[in-house]
Chains A and B, each alone.
Chain A
Amino acid sequence: MLPLFAAAAWAADSAGPFALPARVETLDNGLVVLILEQHRTDATALHITFGVGSRDEKAGEFGCAHLFEHLMFEGSKDVPVDMFDHWLTLAGGDNNAYTSNDVTAYHESFPSGALGLALFLESDRLGFLDAGLLPENLENQQKVVLQERAEGYAEPNGRDWDTIARIQYPPGHPYHNPIIGTVADIEGFSLDAVTHFWHEHYRPRNAVLAVVGNIDTEEALTSLRHWYSDVPDAGEPVARDDEPALDPARPRTAALVEDDVEERTLYLVWDAVPDGHPDQPALEMANYILSNGRGTRLDDALYYLKPRTSVVYTYTSFNDVAGEFYLGAASPTTPLPKLAKLARKQIAALASSGPTAAELARAKSSYRSEILDALESPEGTAELLAECWRLRGKADCLTEDVARYDAVTAADVARVTRKYLVDAEPWTLSNVPRGDAASAMPGAVPVELP
Chain B
Amino acid sequence: MIALSVVLAASAADVKRPEPVVAAAVTRPDEEGAGEAEGEPTGPDRSHPPEVAPPPVLELPEPEVHALHPGVQAWYVRVPGVRKVSVEVVFDRGMVELSHKPDMVGRATGWLADAAGGDMDGAAFSAAEDLREIDVWSDLGQHDGTVGMTAPREELTEGLRLMSLVLREPGFPKQEVKRWVLDQRQFYLIDAPSSQGILANSGLGYGWFEPGHPYGARPQLAELDGVKDKALDAMWGRLLHEAPATVIVVGDVAWGDVEPALISMTEGIGTEGPATNELLFDPPTETRVLAVDLPGQAQSAVRARIAAPTRGDEDSPAMVVANWVYGGHFQSRLNSNLREEKGWTYGSRSSYSAQETFGHVTISVDVQGPNTGATIGEIEKELARMVAEPVTEEELEAAHRSLVADWNRFLETADSAAGLYSFALDHHETAASLRERQERVYAATGEQVQAVSARWLAADRPRLWVVVGDRKTIEPQLTEMGLPVHWVAPADMALGKL
Contacts and interface: CB of A to CB of B under 8 A. Distances in A.
A228 B46 CA distance: 11
Nearest to B295: A260
Contacts of B336: 82
B310 interface: no
Contact of A230 (B2, B44, B54, B299): B44
Contacts of A38: 15
A9 B193 CA distance: 50
Nearest to A225: B27
A215 to B, nearest CB: 7
Nearest to B27: A28
A310 B186 contact: yes
A3 interface: yes
Interface in A224-243: 225-230
Nearest to A34: B20
Interface in A1-23: 1-14, 17, 21-23
* Interface residues of A, dominant DSSP: mixed
B83 A376 contact: yes
Contacts of A293: 126, 130
B22 interface: yes
B122 A294 contact: yes
Interface in B84-143: 84, 115, 122-127, 130-133
A419 interface: no
B61 interface: yes
A249 B440 CA distance: 66
Interface stretch (B203-211, B241-249, B313-321, B399-407): B399-407
A358 to B, nearest CB: 7
Contact of A396 (B20, B193, B343): B20
B398 A90 contact: yes
Interface stretch (A55-63, A112-120, A268-276): A112-120
A448 interface: no
A332 B394 CA distance: 53
Interface string A158-179: 0000000000000000000000
Contacts of A111: 52-53, 55-56, 401, 404-405, 408
Interface stretch (B172-180, B457-465, B481-489): B172-180
A5 B79 contact: yes
B83 A120 contact: no
A369 B22 CA distance: 29
A390 B346 CA distance: 30
A89 B44 contact: no
Contact of A17 (B27, B83, B412): B83
A85 interface: yes
Contacts of A39: 7-8, 10, 15
Interface residues of A, number: 113
Contacts of A345: none
B20 A22 contact: yes
Interface in A123-179: 123-124, 139-144, 147-148, 150-151, 154-156
Given A41-B409, A372-B83, A260 B194 contact: yes
Contact of A5 (B46, B57, B61, B366): B61
Given A9-B15, A86-B331, A260-B296, 8 more contacts: A25-B25, A26-B22, A37-B15, A155-B195, A225-B29, A262-B190, A294-B122, A376-B83
11 contacts: A4-B411, A8-B80, A89-B331, A89-B398, A116-B52, A143-B342, A262-B189, A310-B190, A361-B131, A365-B132, A372-B83
Q: Which 9 interchain pairs have the tightest Cβ spacing? A: A143-B343, A10-B81, A92-B401, A113-B53, A295-B123, A111-B55, A230-B43, A28-B27, A229-B29
Interface of A: 1-14, 17, 21-29, 36-43, 77-79, 82-83, 85-87, 89-94, 109-117, 120-121, 123-124, 139-144, 147-148, 150-151, 154-156, 214-217, 219, 222-223, 225-230, 260-263, 292-295, 300, 303-305, 307, 310, 332, 358, 361-362, 365-366, 368-369, 372, 376-377, 394-396
